[in-house]
Amino acid sequence: MPVQNADVSEIFNKLADLLDIQGANPFRVRAYRNAARTVTSLPRNVADMIQENNDLSELAGIGKDLAGKIQEIVQTGTLSQLEEVEKETPSELNQLMNVGGLGPKRVKALYQELGIRNLKELKAAAESQKIRDLEGFGEKTEQQILEELQQMDGSEVRIKLLEAEQRAEPLVDYLKKTKGLKEITVAGSFRRKKETVGDLDILVTCKKGSKIMDRFVRYEDIRKVVSQGTTRSTVILRSGLQVDVRVLPQVSYGAALHYFTGSKSHNIAVRKIGTKKGLKINEYGVFKGDERIAGKTEKEVYDQVGLPYIEPELRENRGEVEAAQKDELPSLLTLKDIRGDLHSHTKATDGHHSLEAMAKAAKEHGYEYLAVTDHSQKVTMAKGLDAKRLSEQIKAIDKLNEELEGIRILKGIEVDILEDGSLDLPDDILKELDLRVCSVHYKQNLSQQKQTERIIRAMDNPYFNILAHPTGRLINERKPMELNLEKIMEAAKDRGCHLEVNAHPDRLDLSDPYCKMAREMDLNLAISTDAHSTSDLDFMRFGVNQARRGWLEPGDVLNTHSWKQLKKLLQRK
Ligand code: DGT
Ligand code: CA
Ligand code: CA
Ligand code: ZN
């Protein structure tokens, strides 16, 4: 069983939590958390990289020491250092760190004073009112802990699409090796490319008598087999992810694919049209009376209800069925339409690679241009560029562009939007650039009105081009800022500014409903990776997924255009 990236980051995160609780040096703790983040968001499997003798210490935030630890995890499945730390601090304590409001100090106090090691014990202690008397806690905190625990109970864990891919791929490869297997697809939200996935729904067809289920339940990464049948089995993987496998007759494969791809409300809308035509549609096929008239392919199913094929990313019942009826479905953007990336970083600030390396990588992606947009300095980054260093970078890019063939570096900046709505660099340097990406990186908790005003005021600056990661959300980690996005998009449209779809799988910001709103307003968006290393450029596909879920066509996206056209599109009103 190859170790997955998510396994490596889980070990580092756990180690960081436990060290944090022990009161270890905060820099050390942060180093493990950063390493966890780097590994999770790698576009490739770290075990494969090691096998191919890649030098992991070249990755952002990974030194020799950490590279060695990753190697140990990949080879042994565990980390001896974590085992050492677990001897001193109960391994479960890291669960408590996930409770909102509990940091390392409080977790330590709960353990040392009350012997609380896990969520169950925390709940019991809070319910019997033992926590309120602890120094630094009080009745209010106790109440908050109970509320947090209740919330955690109710909320299902959804994993990000990148991790879902990393879990699904090896399992699908494993199942494919079953004798007699014919077709296999991961359906559900995974096939609709939703930003997070609740569980995996795998559909297979196979020759009669195939031992597919026997093989499935013997997959090494399984924690628990929930049920095993001949047509359906359910397991929980070690990571906690549930996987359903269904074996289908070939004649039903398309109908099942349609049914289990969902979404549920899309299915209901399609079924309703069927009912009007006197047809019954379910996972086994399309039926007229008792006769199956379609079901082998998805197209057959749509044919029967008089609809063109609808791409999985559109199947959210957000108007796609009506659009299909009117033959007005969008011709969705594909990765091949993308001609460049408009947000990236280099070593000059917090990126990991040089200008040259980034340019070369962008060229390998077949791009025509790459905008280098390192950070400005004032508020959020000591290493950020001031006017002087930016003007040096401009010169370096001019020089490099003379040498480069087949790729052009656009001179850019990711400039901070300050609290008062001004930009963190003077106009006379901003004007020297090809484009400027503008971001909120601090004071993310202003009221909706203030935050919206702050951003619109920034757009009044004639050098504002693209609002980067507009809401600042981190999926499963940080809520979006309070914003009136519709108002912001209108303001952008009025001024000839644009918004970004940040393609990083942790961000995917704008989210898909807002991509759709932008399209309806005829506001062009940029899809950008915010790459901090050459390999991050691969994240473009996640941005494209999100854009497709938001109905975007190539013409709705800035970076499907040549630089010559793009330059015109960026011109301010
Ligand atoms: P998830 O797993 O929460 O990310 O989302 P899905 O969409 O993968 O949902 P899931 O796994 O519960 O079910 C897979 C698909 O099966 C779902 O998208 C549509 C279909 N499905 C499930 N339950 C029903 C149902 O009661 N009626 C209909 N029409 N379809 C259903
Ligand atoms: Ca699912
Ligand atoms: Ca499911
Ligand atoms: Zn950035």
List the structure tokens of 88. 């001193």
Q: Whose CA is closest to atom 17 on ligand 1?
A: 262
Ramachandran angles phi, psi of 160, nearest 5°: -70, 155
Shortest-distance Cα residue to atom 15 of ligand 1? 260
- Find the angle CA(112)-CA(116)-CA(120) to the nearest 5 degrees: 175
Q: How far apart are CA 243 and CA 159, in angstroms?
A: 13
Least confident piece of the model among 261-275, 317-331, 371-385:
371-385
CA of 198 from ligand 1 middle (Å) equals 10
Looking from the CA of 50 toward its CB, the CA atoms found within 13 Å total 17
Q: How confident is the model at residue 476 (pLDDT cuts 50, 70, 90)?
A: confident
- pTM for the whole structure: 0.85
> Of the ranges 111-115, 406-410, 474-478, which is most confident?
406-410
Rounded to whole angstroms, how far apart are CA atoms 347 and 44? 22
Q: Please compute, for residue 364, the number of CA atoms within 13 A of its CA located in the half-sphere on the CB side.
A: 10
- Pocket test of ligand 1: the residue of 158, 160, 189, 248 to mutate, having most ligand atoms within 8 Å of its CB, is 189
| Chain centre to alpha carbon of residue 129 | 39
Nearest CA to ligand 1 atom 1: 198
Range with the poorest average pLDDT among 93-97, 241-245, 304-308: 93-97
Least confident interval from 7-11, 40-44, 47-51, 84-88: 40-44
| pLDDT above 70 coverage of the chain, percent | 99
Q: Average pLDDT in the 106-115 region?
A: 92
Compute the distance between CA of residue 454 and CA of residue 466 in angstroms, rounded to an integer.
15
> Do β-strands 222-228 and 181-186 pair in parallel, antiparallel, or remain unpaired?
unpaired
What's the pLDDT band for 450 if we cut at 50, 70, 90? very high
Report pLDDT for 477: 83
CB of 441 closer than 8 Å to CB of 380: yes
Ligand 2 center–CA 42 separation, angstroms: 24
Residue 213 is predicted with a pLDDT of 95
Tell me the three-class secondary structure of 491-551, residue by residue: HHHHHCCEEEEECCCCCCECCHHHHHHHHHCCCCEEEECCECCHHHHHHHHHHHHHHHHCC
Contact predicate 466/438, CB 8 Å? yes
| Under 8 Å between Cβ of 187 and 201 | yes
Task: Answer whether the bond into residue 257 is a cis peptide, omega within 30°.
Answer: no
Residues forming beta bridges with residue 372, ordered by sequence position: 411
pLDDT at position 525 is 98
Lowest mean pLDDT among 2-6, 9-13, 424-428: 2-6
CA of 201 to the centre of ligand 1 (A): 9
d(CA 328, CA 320): 9
Instruction: Give the pLDDT band of residue 428 (cuts 50, 70, 90).
Output: very high
Residue keyed to tokens 């694919």? 257
Residue 561 Cα to ligand 4 middle (Å): 21
Q: Which of 186, 197, 242, 264 to mutate to test the pocket of ligand 1 (most atoms within 8 A of CB)?
A: 264
Ligand nearest the Cα of residue 351 is: 4
pLDDT, mean of residues 227-243: 93
Q: Do residues 509 and 480 make contact, with C-beta atoms less than 8 angstroms apart?
A: yes
Q: Distance (Å, rounded) from C-alpha 17 to C-alpha 20?
A: 5
pLDDT of 379 strictly over 70: no
Which residue's entry shows tokens 């299915």?
267
Can you give the pLDDT at residue 170?
A: 94
What whole-number distance in Å separates Cα of residue 373 and Cα of residue 385?
Answer: 10
Q: Are strands 280-282 and 285-288 parallel, antiparallel or unpaired?
A: antiparallel
Q: Average pLDDT in the 449-475 region?
A: 97
What's the pLDDT at 94?
Answer: 87
Average of per-residue pLDDT across 364-374: 98
Residue length of the chain: 573
- Is 154's pLDDT higher than 70? no
With 80 as the cut, is the pLDDT of residue 157 above it? no
Q: What is the pLDDT of residue 519?
A: 98
pLDDT, residue 58, reads 83
Q: How many CA atoms lie within 13 A of 317 on its CB side?
A: 12
In order of their start, the domains of the chain are 5-152 (1.10.150.110), 159-247 (3.30.460.10), 269-325 (3.30.210.10), 335-569 (3.20.20.140)
What's the pLDDT band for 156 if we cut at 50, 70, 90? Answer: low
- Band (91; pLDDT cuts 50, 70, 90): confident
Distance (Å, whole) CA 349 – CA 382? 9
pLDDT tens track for 35-68: 998 898 887 889 999 988 888 888 878 889 999 9
Question: Which ligand gives the minimal distance to the CA of 261?
Answer: 1
Please tell me whether the peptide bond between 562 and the residue prior to it is cis, using omega within 30 degrees of 0.
no
174, exposed or middle or buried, with CB in 10 Å at 0-12, 13-18, 19+? middle
pLDDT digits 0-9 by tens, 348-358 = 998 999 999 99
**Paired strand residues for 423:** 417
Model pLDDT for residues 236-251, shown as the tens digit of each residue:
998 889 999 999 999 9
- Atom of ligand 1 lying closest to residue 199 CA: 2
Q: Which of the ligands is closest to the CA of residue 232? A: 3
Token couple for 334: 């594909």
**Which residue ranges have their beta carbon within 6 Å of ligand 1?**
188-189, 194, 197-199, 201, 259-260, 262-264, 267-268
Q: What is the pLDDT of residue 373?
A: 98
pLDDT tens per residue, range 544-570 = 999 999 999 999 999 999 999 999 999
Residue 495: pLDDT over 90: yes
Q: For residue 189, give the ligand nearest its CA.
A: 1
Average pLDDT score, the chain: 94
pLDDT at 188 over 90: yes
Q: Supply the pLDDT for residue 1.
A: 63
* Measured torsion, CA atoms of residues 164, 166, 168, 173, in degrees rounded to the nearest 10: 170
d(CA 186, CA 169): 10
Contact indicator for 390, 463 with CB cutoff of 8 Å: no
